[in-house]
Chain A
Amino acid sequence: MERSEDAAEAGMSNRWPEILVALFLFAIGVIVVSDSIRVGTGWEEGEGPRAGYFPFYIGSILLISSGWILIGALARIRKPQPQFATWEELRSVMQMLVPLSIYIVAVVFLGLYVSSFVLIAYFMKVHGKFGVIGTVLTSVGVPLAAFMLFERWFLVPLPKGPLELMLGL
């Protein structure tokens, strides 16, 4: 989809995402190379490569390739860019990404069951416009089914929070 910036729908261009992702990869490359140097990158006589030998070259490839992408992106910085996504699309994505991130944080503190109930109920009620009965049945049913399946049947403990503790589960 090589739409140019001045296409019909307004949106974000590839300019900054491209640069940021390349910078991120470059940073990973720096970490990999520096840690490899710490553990030794040599080729020991009679023993072959040391612990950092392969990671060092892999990190270097990462540095070169992400650097290449970065230079390319910077060279094009003033030129028109292909569109990353329209604002409308990004807004939609955020409608998922924000609750998703909150959900993950909630799993850490409240446990998986309560968070899952809230997540499903939120989507069904706010976005799906489902009735109260359907919403409650699904949002309680899914965590409950997971509980029966994992904790009771397969004996796999899932993350729990204060509520489960209070109930003595």
Chain B
Amino acid sequence: MTKFGKWAGRALVTAIATIGLTGVAQAWEPTKPVEFVVPAGTGGGADQMARFIQGIVAKNKLMAQPLVVVNKSGGAGAEGFLEVKGAKGDPHKIIITLSNLFTTPLATGVPFNWRDLTPGAMLALDQFVLWVNADAPYKTAKDYVEAVKSKPANTFKMAGTGSKQEDQIITAMIDKATGKKMTYVPFKGGGDVAVQLVGAHVDSTVNNPIEAEAHWRGGKLRPLCIMDSEKLPYNEKVTATQSWGDIPTCKSAGVPVEYLMLRGIFLAPGVTQDQVDFYVNLFKKVRETPDWAEFMKKGAFKQTFMTGKEFSDWLGKTEAMHYGLMKEAGFLAK
């Protein structure tokens, strides 16, 4: 929107808010299509989730106005975050976030911070699993770690998505645990990364479950351990013999690495509590659908839901954690 448009829009919002205050307090509802910004490219994890939510909302008619997914992936998502940051007071713009909410400003110095946006809700947390090719000789995480330790540094290649983002941070954490550096090779998307491992062009990846699930089922990849404090609660068999719940934690395998990625919703700065409540309720309804439950199971997500102060506290803590990890790994912007 243009400057003048924004100004006029704000005036209009203020006017409506004033009327709202004097009249009967009515629940807010979107009055035009809602833009759903994805700070990542088409086909990635965040994009898949956003489009899935769009589908659920449309299919179950959860909102009178449509939800429109817009990809703004430039500068590791900075483009999308800056867009929402700039749309002050606009309640028709929401953004789905991933770890780049923390990593992008820290790594690039692009000026934004989660505090510039209005936190909506945490939808789920995404897990990370250490994968190797099914033909590789390593059956357990311990085997793999021993192999890494016994060879000179940089012998093993780890593929991941993007640079100085979650995958590389995890790699740095594993490096620290083993004491040997692995070569990190960045690719554009999680799907590409998994295929590089299937084709045995690299030795391991830390793909999210949903990115590698099909290859696991197809007998091409093998999960070694999961980077969480406890095993996954999904006990339905994925392959003939294993379920997500059978994957041991990395900690128990001697690699003390824990990392979860945020999948949450943020609003533009300066929106009213009413407007936040509308979206929080909307996502509560989305989470109640059977489609969502199926999606969570398929992608082995951790189904934590948070809003309000609890969510803000979590964000503050997680940001501090990223700062610490990235400082240690030398990923901070100079």
Contacts and interface: CB of A to CB of B under 8 A. Distances in A.
Interface of A: 46, 108-111, 151, 155-157, 159-162, 165-166, 168-169
A109 B2 CA distance: 6
Interface stretch (B3-11, B110-118, B201-209, B234-242): B3-11
Interface string B1-29: 11111001100100000000000000000
Interface of B: 1-5, 8-9, 12, 31-33, 35, 66, 68, 154
A161 B2 contact: yes
B154 A160 contact: no
A159 to B, nearest CB: 7
8 contacts: A109-B3, A111-B5, A155-B68, A157-B68, A159-B1, A161-B2, A161-B4, A165-B9
A46 B12 CA distance: 59
Contacts, number: 33
Given A157-B33, A159-B2, 7 more contacts: A109-B3, A109-B4, A155-B66, A159-B1, A165-B5, A165-B8, A169-B32
B12 A165 contact: yes
Contacts of A168: 31
B9 A155 contact: no
A166 to B, nearest CB: 8
Most B CB contacts (10 A, CB to CB) among A110, A111, A159, A165 go to A165
A52 to B, nearest CB: 14
Contacts of A169: 32
Contacts of A165: 5, 8-9, 12
A160 B33 contact: no
Most A CB contacts (10 A, CB to CB) among B2, B9, B31, B68 go to B2
Nearest to B9: A165
Contact of B154 (A46, A108, A157): A46
A161 B8 CA distance: 9
Contacts of A110: 2
Nearest to A152: B33
B5 A162 contact: yes
B202 to A, nearest CB: 15
Contacts of B68: 155-157
Contacts of A162: 4-5, 8
Cβ-closest 4 pairs across A and B: A155-B68, A165-B8, A155-B66, A155-B33
A38 to B, nearest CB: 11
A160 B5 contact: yes
B331 to A, nearest CB: 14
A46 B157 CA distance: 13
Contacts of B66: 155
Contacts of B31: 168
A112 B33 CA distance: 18
A47 to B, nearest CB: 8
Contacts of B5: 111, 160-162, 165
